[in-house]
A and B are shown apart, each in its own frame.
Chain A
Amino acid sequence: MRFQHHQAALDTRANVAWMEVHTENYMGGGSPIRYLEAIRRDIPISLHGVGLSLGSAEGLDQAHLDRIRQLAEHIEPDLMSEHIAWSVSGGTYLADLLPLPMTEEALAVVCRHVDQVQSTLRRKILVENPSTYMQFRHSTIPEWEFMAAVVARTGCGILCDVNNIYVSAKNHGWDPLAYLAVLPPDAIGEIHLAGHSARQLADGATLRIDDHGSRVIGEVWLLYEAALRRFGPVPTLIEWDQNVPPLDVLIDEARHADALIDVASDGVGRADAA
């Protein structure tokens, strides 16, 4: 949910199963947090963080973790999630989900930080697989095994971003179905879907860019169906952060996901739009 949807969300709350917001947008006082409190009275909330930087070599920003803890204690979200990425270095926040080398060192750093976050919040968090545009030469662990290892070592869950799997698989020549096959089904607590764009690079390569600015494409819907077959019905969210359309377009996308969940299961899972 974005700020321009606050009032619409309050008006139509009966039709929405749950809502996800960016944790970092609700760290101050005033009207944003008042809206979230009001929506929270009727609808479960998922807090989705983008700034904790689980992969920072220099450790977590304790002040930021404290703000997240205070918000969580206040809002009591049903789900909390973050990313397998980094965004803070040398005390500077770089405002992007930057790629980690897939190494034992990075795995140890991420696991140490997930442990720290879960013990601070006294709850399980979900970690989301990233979309990436480059790979490091010294990476030794396939990303899907990295994800599974974080779950095995910390007991956290996974926010499986199906569009991110598709984007990274296209960018790096991976098999997206093989990726899904390694993720532990019991750990999947949420699925993300989104639109993406394609960009031609100077050397002729085409890169898929995860920009959350359009409808979900057909191939990603197919991968989503495969994910549902493997994981069962899982709460699903359509992300849309650029060129945000009216709420009814988002709800239309969510209905499509709902229909697929119904086909793949007994209809227990429910989809939503952010």
Chain B
Amino acid sequence: MGSVVPMLLEIQTAMRCDILGNGDETVVATLSDTLAPVDRLSIYRNTSRTALTSALRLNFPAVQRLVGEDFFTTAADTFITREPPQTAWLDPYGEGFPEFLQGFEPVAALIYLPDVARLERAVGRALHASDAKSLEYSQLLDIEPSDQGRVCFTPHPSVSLVSSPYPVDAIWRAVLGQNDEALAAIKLSSGAVRLLVERRAGEIEVSRLDERRWKFAEALFAGHSLSTALTVADNPDAAVWLAAHLAAGHLSGFSLSTTESLVVTEHAQ
């Protein structure tokens, strides 16, 4: 520390480093406790770790059951050091956990695990998203027919899309339902799944979409224009799919695009 009497900022920085696992003797040197100062400090470190691990456990229950409690704790410990939360609202904590698992060597053999985590992140988002109002069909009636193709929708904050080469929805249901029989019957080679995750009347729903519907929803929810989404869909039923999204409350707002982005054009090809 730079001064004889350490500033609050210095102490808090040193203690943050200690709690996140890369501390030194700085904090201990500021304590008046002569008995077991390192033990005292470790109480705070342990409490912090336990609270953050619990937050991850709540947000990724299926991942925890798949890898076991002890292993989950070890993985969470590494993740917490790399990506500690940036806010005291912990419901959304773990946005980067699926990507972390993707690169976490000890679970490399569980090829479907990162996608199970992605599904759980989408479920968490659906559970905790704000109660935004859904867009009503009547709000679209004033749009000029010539402008309809330029409409860009905003998805409801509780709605997410997840895709995986593995049947992660079946794995997730079997694991959380503790249905070992169903879990054993799942064939990883059964093909890719494309999922829509949402909160309806307070309950979480995970439903499978076919590839065209999913790609249409992906373009729509990414904020691309309706004409782009319809091009991506390349299906005469796409207008019906849009009506279904509106009726289900998947959209919460819209704007009119002024230009088509390069990304959109590429996507449409």
| A133-B40, A201-B39 given; A93·B86 CB < 8 A | yes
Question: Can you list, as one digit per residue, whether each of A93-110 has a CB less than 8 Å from chain B (1) or not (0)?
Answer: 111101111010110010
Question: Can you list, as one digit per residue, whether each of A128-169 has a CB less than 8 Å from chain B (1) or not (0)?
Answer: 000001111111000000000000000000000000000000
Residues from chain A with a CB closer than 8 A to the CB of B157 are 29
Q: Is the CB of B88 within 8 A of A137?
A: no
- Closest residue of chain A to B41 (Cβ to Cβ) is A134
| A94-B16, A133-B44 given; A202·B8 CB < 8 A | no
A56 to B15 alpha-carbon distance, docked (Å): 12
Interface size on B, residues (CB 8 A): 48
Minimal beta-carbon separation of B250 from chain A (angstroms): 15
- Closest residue of chain A to B28 (Cβ to Cβ) is A134
Asked if A177 is an interface residue, CB under 8 A from chain B, the answer is no
Q: Is the CB of B43 within 8 A of A209?
A: yes
Beta-carbon contacts under 8 Å, A11-62 to B: 24, 27-31, 33-34, 50-53, 55-58, 61
Minimal beta-carbon separation of A189 from chain B (angstroms): 22
A222 to B6 alpha-carbon distance, docked (Å): 38
Total of A-B residue pairs, C-beta within 8 Å: 144
Asked if B130 is an interface residue, CB under 8 A from chain A, the answer is yes
Asked if A116 is an interface residue, CB under 8 A from chain B, the answer is no
Q: Is the CB of B35 within 8 A of A137?
A: no
Asked if A89 is an interface residue, CB under 8 A from chain B, the answer is yes
| A34-B202, A57-B7, A201-B36 given; A28·B129 CB < 8 A | yes
Q: Is the CB of B36 within 8 A of A205?
A: yes
Q: Is the CB of B128 within 8 A of A89?
A: no
Asked if B224 is an interface residue, CB under 8 A from chain A, the answer is no
Q: Is the CB of B87 within 8 A of A33?
A: no
- Closest residue of chain A to B6 (Cβ to Cβ) is A138
A193 to B35 alpha-carbon distance, docked (Å): 28
| A96-B48, A138-B30, A207-B40 given; A109·B8 CB < 8 A | yes
Q: Is the CB of B86 within 8 A of A91?
A: yes
Residues from chain A with a CB closer than 8 A to the CB of B48 are 94-96
Residues from chain A with a CB closer than 8 A to the CB of B128 are 27-30
Question: Can you list, as one digit per residue, whether each of B15-48 has a CB less than 8 Å from chain A (1) or not (0)?
Answer: 1100110000000001111011111110110011
| A28-B128, A67-B89, A136-B11 given; A95·B35 CB < 8 A | no
Residues from chain B with a CB closer than 8 A to the CB of A64 are 87-89
Minimal beta-carbon separation of B219 from chain A (angstroms): 26
Residues from chain B with a CB closer than 8 A to the CB of A96 are 19, 44, 47-48, 51
- Closest residue of chain A to B84 (Cβ to Cβ) is A92
Minimal beta-carbon separation of A75 from chain B (angstroms): 14
A274 to B85 alpha-carbon distance, docked (Å): 26
Asked if A246 is an interface residue, CB under 8 A from chain B, the answer is no
- Closest residue of chain B to A56 (Cβ to Cβ) is B12
Asked if A90 is an interface residue, CB under 8 A from chain B, the answer is yes
Residues from chain B with a CB closer than 8 A to the CB of A52 are 88
A272 to B130 alpha-carbon distance, docked (Å): 30
Minimal beta-carbon separation of A104 from chain B (angstroms): 10
A82 to B42 alpha-carbon distance, docked (Å): 24
Minimal beta-carbon separation of B210 from chain A (angstroms): 28
A57 to B55 alpha-carbon distance, docked (Å): 26
Q: Is the CB of A24 within 8 A of B16?
A: no
**27 A-B pairs in the complex with CB atoms less than 8 angstroms apart:** A28-B91, A30-B129, A30-B131, A31-B202, A33-B131, A51-B88, A53-B88, A61-B88, A67-B89, A92-B85, A93-B84, A93-B85, A94-B20, A96-B44, A96-B51, A100-B8, A103-B8, A109-B8, A133-B43, A134-B31, A134-B37, A136-B11, A138-B30, A199-B43, A201-B36, A202-B36, A202-B38
Interface residues of B, Cβ cutoff 8 Å to A: 5-9, 11-13, 15-16, 19-20, 30-33, 35-41, 43-44, 47-48, 51-52, 55, 84-91, 127-132, 157-158, 199, 202
Interface residues of A, Cβ cutoff 8 Å to B: 24, 27-31, 33-34, 50-53, 55-58, 61, 63-64, 67, 86-96, 98-101, 103, 105-106, 109, 133-139, 199, 201-205, 207, 209
Q: A64-B87, A95-B88 are in contact. List 15 more A-B contacts (CB 8 A).
A: A28-B91, A28-B128, A29-B158, A30-B127, A57-B8, A58-B9, A64-B89, A90-B13, A90-B16, A92-B20, A93-B85, A109-B8, A136-B11, A199-B43, A201-B35
